Structure 1
Amino acid sequence: MDFLETIIHEKKQEVQAMPLEKVQPLRKTDSFYQQVKAHPEKMHIIGEVKRASPSKGAINLAVNVIEQAQAYEQAGVTAISVLTDEVFFKGSIEDLRTVASQVAISVLCKDFIIDDKQLIRARNAGATMVLLIVSALSKQKLAELYTKAVALELEVLVEVHDEQELAIAEGLSAQLIGVNNRNLKTFDVSIEVSQQLGKKQTRDAVYISESGFSTGQQVALVKENYQVVLVGEGLMRENDPKAKVKELQVLR
């Protein structure tokens, strides 16, 4: 099995054992989509709290998630992404709950979501955004989860990696479309993925380029067709994440 198949196999087992939570009140924040649309002059940053990954192993296992998240917020990121996968990324739903309780901005639940139970759990923990990965779901399941997430008043980041998946995301009328520069089957990364798909965009969505960014020069490569970059490892390895966020906020 490739990386993605291995992860999804594990998620199916997790979801079976996961309780169905009662829906709690939504944490109130400004709309991420509206924030980005209101300020088109700069690249927006989603700063990620990421302890580890399947390909790189440990990145920053002992990170103080409150300090990391507050540094991101003080530096002016538009949202914070929190890995909640325990087995492969060493995150947790508690990391998300902790971050959401300490910041005022949008928080994205970054996980491999395959079931309604995960959406409700994310919302209850304080997420205002959730990730749905096209390559991890059938078209029918993607549409079902998208509809459910919207009904839960969550903003949905629909993630793609190729032209066919981009067409599926645009067909959903998704407001937030993420192009992952990382191939989830091999975990290889190339910013060229975003550059190529940037030419194929057809909608007035917010387009987000994800993975592979560690310098402002790299961000500048995608600023023409993307309004946002998501940065995890490039910030988690920094001694001064605030300064790095400032560097990445290139003018568009």
Structure 2
Amino acid sequence: MSVLDSIIEGVKEDLESRKLSRAQILEAVEKAAAVRADISSFQNNSLSLIAEVKRSSPSKGALAPISDPALLASKYEKGGASAISVLTERRRFGGSLEDLDAVRKAVDLPILRKDFMVDEYQFFEARAHGADLVLLIVAALSKNQLLDYLDLTQELGMHAIVEVHTMDELEIALDAPSEMIGVNSRNLKTLEVDSIAFKDLLPRIPTDVIRIAESGISTPADVQYAVDSGANAILVGEALVRAGDPEFAVQHLLGEQ
């Protein structure tokens, strides 16, 4: 069993323990705060940064305790982030839907629910907790699931980042109506990072698609490499949660300090 398979198995187990009835989750969606549908900053900025609230990871273990995710998100917003990513997977990343709720209330930016979306229920759950964006990992889904989940995301008014790591996965993403494609330099099956994925895959994504570089970005030089490869957005977690001054760290990566 790969690392990804193991994570997904845990995600499914945890989901079964917290599922509401269909009527209950639909009522929660109905009462949810309106979607922040404007993602124009990703298209208009020369570089956008998605800053992540992330306590731990399977590859690095504990990263930061993050006792106040709302405060951290507020610092990201002040630093110039275009969106906030919130890990909600519990077992490997130490996240929760409560973190998502807290961050949503604290900032005015679009919020990405960062999780392993493998069940239709999770999309209604994401919207009920105020998510504006969700992550769809091609390696975790069949092609039909990807298409169905993209449709469901749109029906709920949210946006999807379609994540790829290989050429085969990128071809699947390009065959789907993907408005945002993230190239993850980390292989989720082995957890190895190789930034060559940026250079190989980002230039193949059409310029009318938002192109996001994910993982392995911690310095301005890493940012420049991603931009030179074709990224117009980056997603950064570890480097920011470990920074003593998250607001300055965001500005530094964006070249403002």
TM-score scaled to structure 2, two decimals?
0.92
Equivalences for residues 9-28 of structure 1 within 5 A:
9-17=9-17, 18-19=19-20, 20=22, 21-22=25-26, 23-24=29-30, 25-28=32-35
Amino acid in the other structure paired with 1:168 = I
Judge conservation of contact 2:35–2:158 (CA < 8 Å) in 1: no
Name the structure 2 match of 1:94: 98
Describe the superposition over 1:81-104 as per-residue Cα deviations: whole angstroms up to 9, x where unpaired.
Answer: 000001110100000010001100
Which residue of the other structure, out of 215, 220, 231, is the alignment partner of 1:226?
Answer: 231
Larger deviation: 114-123 or 74-83? Answer: 114-123
1:109 aligns with 2:109: no
Residue aligned with 2:226, SS: coil
Residue 157 of structure 1 deviates from its aligned partner by 0.5
Cα shift readout 1:161-199 (whole Å, capped 9, x = no counterpart): 011111111111211100011110111112221111123
Moved more, 204-213 or 184-193: 184-193
Deviation at 1:28, TM superposition (A): 4.0
Question: TM-score with structure 1 length normalisation?
Answer: 0.94
Does the CA contact (< 8 Å) of 2:3 and 2:188 recur in 1? yes
Hey, what's the Cα distance between the residues in 2 that align with 1:243 and 1:201?
31
C-alpha displacement of 1:15: 3.1
Compared with structure 1, are the counterparts of its residues 86 and 147 closer, same or farther at alpha carbon in structure 2 (3 Å cutoff)?
Answer: same
User: Is residue 179 from structure 1 mapped to residue 183 from structure 2 by the alignment?
Assistant: yes
**What is the Cα deviation at residue 29 of structure 1?**
2.5
Q: 1:58 aligns with which of 47, 59, 62?
A: 62
Contact 2:180 2:209 in 1 (8 A): yes
Q: Give the counterpart letter for 1:38 in structure 2.
A: N
Q: Is contact 1:134–1:159 with CA below 8 Å preserved after alignment?
A: yes
Note the residue ranges of structure 2 that are not aligned, 5 or more in a row: none
Q: Pick from 240, 243, 256: which aligns with 1:238? A: 243
Contact 2:186 2:194 in 1 (8 A): yes
How much does 1:130 deviate? 0.4
Alpha-carbon separation, structure 1, partners of 2:110 and 2:192: 28
Who is 2:42 aligned against? Answer: 36
Cα distance in 1 between the residues matched to 2:240 and 2:212: 17
Cα offset for 1:203? 5.2
CA distance in 2, matches of 1:154, 1:62: 27
2-structure distance, mates of 1:2, 1:50: 22
- The alpha-carbon deviation at position 247 of structure 1 amounts to 1.3
- Of residues 141, 144, 147, the one that matches 1:137 is 141
- CA apart distance, 1:145: 1.0
1:198 maps to 2:191: no
SS of the residue 1:221 aligns to: helix
Q: Is the 8 A contact 1:85 1:111 kept in 2?
A: yes
1:119 corresponds to = 123
Is this contact kept in 2: 1:61–1:90, CA < 8 A?
A: no
Q: Which runs of 5+ in 1 are unaligned?
A: none
CA deviation profile, 1:134-171 (whole Å, cap 9, x unmatched): 00011111111111111000010100001111111111
Identity %: 38
